[in-house]
Amino acid sequence: MANPGSALRAIGLVKEYKRGRAVDGVDLTVAPGERVALLGPNGAGKTTTLLMCLGAVRPDAGTVEIFGHRLPGARTQALGHVGFVAGYLPLPQSVRVEEYLRMFGRLYGLRHPDRAAGEGLARFGIEHLARAMGTELSSGQKTLVGIVKAALHEPRLLVLDEPTASLDPDVALRVRTGLRELSRDHGTALLVTSHNMLEVERLTERVVFLSHGKVVADGPPAAIAERYGRGDLEQVFLHLAGVET
């Protein structure tokens, strides 16, 4: 039996593509309610790691368990506990926001998807968008709707890939506030990738740095900055990306 004490437990993940090894023996554990950032320069293997953790990409080696459900065999049970949102994924053009949320509510097995959608839209202050078509939303609104979608079923683990990329600071703040509330109110664990180091320091309590497909640092943001002898995470990031300031 897997360890149900972890929200996510990925051990020894390896993924090799034709262009080379994207992920090289990554161990990644997220405790229930913990807020973790997965950071690294472009090509470090963040998205591939996330996709393996979600069962969308099969690792060449290693195992993934979500609340004790091992992928890929227990994928349906595991993903019932997970919400996923990516800032780069669009909403389908041919559906209204409320229809989109109702569909995902059903996919997550909710008895009352409309109620959950209403509460989710209210949490992020976008109730007025319920009847809007996907094509009528700004990129910030799409991201907020995407987060509402991912959190409809009160997941115990929320995975966010670049959730605030290309958002205005006010919308990004609303996203961070909503995510912190979600984590606090429901004990939702967060696993976030971002290129915004300030956001990471404000939102998460632990950082896992990837470089060339390997974990090179794992710990609280301040401790990592201290370990690398840098003033903040951004300088650590630049150091790992090979750019010195």
Partner 1 sequence: MIEKYPPGAASFWRVMAIARRHAYVLQRSPHRLFDIVIWPVVDVVLFGSIGVFAARQATGTAAQVALYLLVGVVLWHVVYQAQIAVATGFLEETWSRSVLNLLTTPLREWEYLAGVALFGLVKLAAGVGAVALIAWLAYAFQITSLGLGFVPIAALLLVVGWAIALFVIGLVLRFGSGAEALAWGILFVVMPLSGVFYPVSALPGILRPIGQALPTTHAFSAGRALAAGQPMPWGELGVAALSTAVLVTLALAYLGWMLRIFRERGFVTRYS
- Would you tell me which residues interact with partner 1 (CB under 8 A)? 15, 17, 47-48, 51, 54-58, 60, 72, 75-77, 79-80, 82, 84, 86, 88-90, 92-95, 99, 102-104, 106-112, 116, 149, 153-154, 159
Query: Which residues fall within 8 angstroms of residue 197, CB to CB, at 6 or more apart?
Result: 39, 232, 233, 234, 237
- Give least dist CB 75 to partner 1, A: 8
Cβ closest to partner 1, residue 88 vs residue 128? 88
List phi, psi (to 5°) of 211: -145, 130
Query: Which residues fall within 8 angstroms of residue 56, CB to CB, at 6 or more apart?
Result: none
Cβ closest to partner 1, residue 34 vs residue 161? 161
Cβ closest to partner 1, residue 36 vs residue 57? 57
- Give least dist CB 37 to partner 1, A: 19
- Give least dist CB 154 to partner 1, A: 5
- Give least dist CB 95 to partner 1, A: 5
Cβ closest to partner 1, residue 182 vs residue 240? 182
Asked if 173 and 134 count as a contact pair (C-beta separation under 8 A), the reply is: no
What burial class does residue 1 get, using C-beta atoms within 10 Å of its C-beta: 0-12 exposed, 13-18 middle, 19+ buried? exposed
Cβ closest to partner 1, residue 83 vs residue 140? 83
- Give least dist CB 112 to partner 1, A: 6
The helix (run of H) or strand (run of E) holding residue 24 is strand 20-30
β-sheet bridge partners, residue 207: 37, 219
How far is residue 121 CA from its own chain's centroid? 19
Cβ closest to partner 1, residue 15 vs residue 174? 15
How many C-beta atoms surround the C-beta of residue 46 within 10 A? 26
- Give least dist CB 159 to partner 1, A: 8
Q: Helix or strand or coil: residue 56?
A: coil
Asked if 244 and 238 count as a contact pair (C-beta separation under 8 A), the reply is: yes
The 8-class DSSP code of residue 217 comes to E
